[in-house]
Amino acid sequence: AWRSTPMSLDVALYNSIFNILGKMSQWQDCLAGLQEMPLLRLRPNQISYVAAMTACSRGSHWAQACDLLKMMAAHTTPPNVISHNAALNALSSAKLWQRCLEMMESLEITWDSVSYCTTIGACGNAGNWQVVLLLLEQMR
Protein backbone atom coordinates (compact mmCIF):
# COMPACT_ATOMS: atom_id res chain seq x y z
CA ALA A 1 0.00 0.00 0.00
CA TRP A 2 2.81 2.45 0.81
CA ARG A 3 4.27 2.00 -2.70
CA SER A 4 1.09 3.31 -4.35
CA THR A 5 1.31 6.72 -2.64
CA PRO A 6 2.31 9.46 -5.13
CA MET A 7 5.50 11.00 -3.74
CA SER A 8 9.14 11.35 -4.57
CA LEU A 9 10.82 8.17 -3.38
CA ASP A 10 14.46 8.31 -2.35
CA VAL A 11 16.81 6.10 -0.34
CA ALA A 12 16.19 8.00 2.90
CA LEU A 13 12.44 7.55 2.57
CA TYR A 14 12.84 3.83 1.88
CA ASN A 15 15.12 3.53 4.93
CA SER A 16 12.53 5.24 7.12
CA ILE A 17 9.83 2.94 5.78
CA PHE A 18 12.05 -0.10 6.38
CA ASN A 19 12.54 0.99 10.01
CA ILE A 20 8.80 1.32 10.52
CA LEU A 21 8.12 -2.02 8.82
CA GLY A 22 10.82 -3.62 10.95
CA LYS A 23 9.12 -2.50 14.14
CA MET A 24 5.99 -4.24 12.88
CA SER A 25 7.96 -7.40 11.89
CA GLN A 26 7.00 -6.88 8.24
CA TRP A 27 10.25 -8.34 6.95
CA GLN A 28 8.72 -9.49 3.66
CA ASP A 29 7.84 -5.90 2.73
CA CYS A 30 11.39 -4.80 3.54
CA LEU A 31 12.81 -7.48 1.25
CA ALA A 32 10.37 -6.49 -1.50
CA GLY A 33 11.38 -2.86 -1.07
CA LEU A 34 15.07 -3.73 -1.35
CA GLN A 35 14.36 -5.54 -4.62
CA GLU A 36 12.29 -2.64 -5.89
CA MET A 37 14.84 0.08 -5.19
CA PRO A 38 17.18 -0.69 -8.14
CA LEU A 39 14.18 -0.66 -10.48
CA LEU A 40 13.65 2.95 -9.41
CA ARG A 41 17.37 3.69 -9.84
CA LEU A 42 17.87 3.85 -6.12
CA ARG A 43 20.85 2.10 -4.57
CA PRO A 44 20.27 0.56 -1.13
CA ASN A 45 22.89 1.65 1.37
CA GLN A 46 24.15 0.28 4.69
CA ILE A 47 21.12 1.71 6.49
CA SER A 48 18.74 0.05 4.02
CA TYR A 49 20.27 -3.37 4.54
CA VAL A 50 20.60 -3.07 8.32
CA ALA A 51 16.96 -1.97 8.63
CA ALA A 52 15.85 -4.94 6.53
CA MET A 53 18.09 -7.31 8.51
CA THR A 54 16.63 -5.99 11.75
CA ALA A 55 13.12 -6.57 10.39
CA CYS A 56 14.09 -10.15 9.52
CA SER A 57 15.51 -10.64 13.00
CA ARG A 58 12.35 -9.31 14.65
CA GLY A 59 10.31 -11.61 12.44
CA SER A 60 12.45 -14.60 13.52
CA HIS A 61 13.94 -15.03 10.05
CA TRP A 62 17.64 -15.21 10.81
CA ALA A 63 18.50 -16.96 7.52
CA GLN A 64 17.12 -14.05 5.49
CA ALA A 65 19.09 -11.60 7.64
CA CYS A 66 22.29 -13.55 6.91
CA ASP A 67 21.41 -13.72 3.21
CA LEU A 68 21.10 -9.92 3.16
CA LEU A 69 24.60 -9.67 4.58
CA LYS A 70 25.86 -11.72 1.63
CA MET A 71 23.79 -9.67 -0.82
CA MET A 72 25.36 -6.43 0.34
CA ALA A 73 28.75 -7.23 -1.15
CA ALA A 74 27.14 -8.45 -4.37
CA HIS A 75 25.36 -5.09 -4.68
CA THR A 76 28.50 -2.98 -4.14
CA THR A 77 27.60 -2.13 -0.55
CA PRO A 78 30.37 -3.74 1.48
CA PRO A 79 29.21 -4.92 4.90
CA ASN A 80 30.66 -3.16 7.92
CA VAL A 81 30.66 -3.99 11.62
CA ILE A 82 27.15 -2.54 12.03
CA SER A 83 25.69 -4.80 9.37
CA HIS A 84 27.56 -7.78 10.80
CA ASN A 85 26.14 -6.90 14.22
CA ALA A 86 22.63 -6.96 12.75
CA ALA A 87 23.30 -10.50 11.49
CA LEU A 88 24.77 -11.49 14.88
CA ASN A 89 21.64 -10.16 16.56
CA ALA A 90 19.44 -12.25 14.25
CA LEU A 91 21.48 -15.34 15.10
CA SER A 92 21.43 -14.56 18.80
CA SER A 93 17.66 -14.02 18.77
CA ALA A 94 17.30 -17.43 17.15
CA LYS A 95 19.47 -18.93 19.91
CA LEU A 96 22.16 -19.89 17.39
CA TRP A 97 25.15 -19.13 19.58
CA GLN A 98 27.42 -21.47 17.59
CA ARG A 99 26.78 -19.48 14.42
CA CYS A 100 27.52 -16.25 16.28
CA LEU A 101 30.90 -17.68 17.26
CA GLU A 102 31.54 -18.97 13.73
CA MET A 103 30.83 -15.53 12.28
CA MET A 104 33.12 -13.81 14.74
CA GLU A 105 35.90 -16.34 14.17
CA SER A 106 35.64 -16.48 10.38
CA LEU A 107 35.66 -12.78 9.50
CA GLU A 108 38.70 -10.56 9.51
CA ILE A 109 37.02 -7.42 10.81
CA THR A 110 37.41 -5.42 13.98
CA TRP A 111 34.50 -6.37 16.18
CA ASP A 112 33.09 -3.80 18.57
CA SER A 113 31.50 -4.03 22.02
CA VAL A 114 28.06 -4.63 20.45
CA SER A 115 29.46 -7.64 18.59
CA TYR A 116 30.92 -9.11 21.75
CA CYS A 117 27.89 -8.33 23.93
CA THR A 118 25.52 -9.93 21.42
CA THR A 119 27.62 -13.08 21.16
CA ILE A 120 28.26 -13.20 24.91
CA GLY A 121 24.51 -12.92 25.50
CA ALA A 122 23.80 -15.73 23.06
CA CYS A 123 26.40 -17.99 24.67
CA GLY A 124 25.33 -17.05 28.20
CA ASN A 125 21.68 -17.78 27.47
CA ALA A 126 22.74 -21.21 26.25
CA GLY A 127 24.68 -21.81 29.49
CA ASN A 128 28.12 -21.79 27.82
CA TRP A 129 29.97 -19.91 30.52
CA GLN A 130 33.41 -21.13 29.46
CA VAL A 131 32.88 -19.50 26.06
CA VAL A 132 31.57 -16.34 27.73
CA LEU A 133 34.75 -16.10 29.79
CA LEU A 134 36.91 -16.60 26.68
CA LEU A 135 35.02 -13.84 24.85
CA LEU A 136 35.40 -11.50 27.79
CA GLU A 137 39.13 -12.17 27.74
CA GLN A 138 39.27 -11.43 23.99
CA MET A 139 37.55 -8.10 24.54
CA ARG A 140 40.43 -6.88 26.75
Whole-prediction pTM value? 0.86
> CA 29, CA 107: separation in Å to the nearest integer?
29
Contact residues for 32 (Cβ-Cβ < 8 A; gap 6+): none
- Tens digits of pLDDT across the chain (140 residues): 455 555 567 899 999 999 999 999 899 999 999 999 999 999 999 999 999 999 999 989 999 999 999 999 787 788 999 999 999 999 999 999 999 999 998 888 889 999 999 999 999 999 999 999 999 998 88
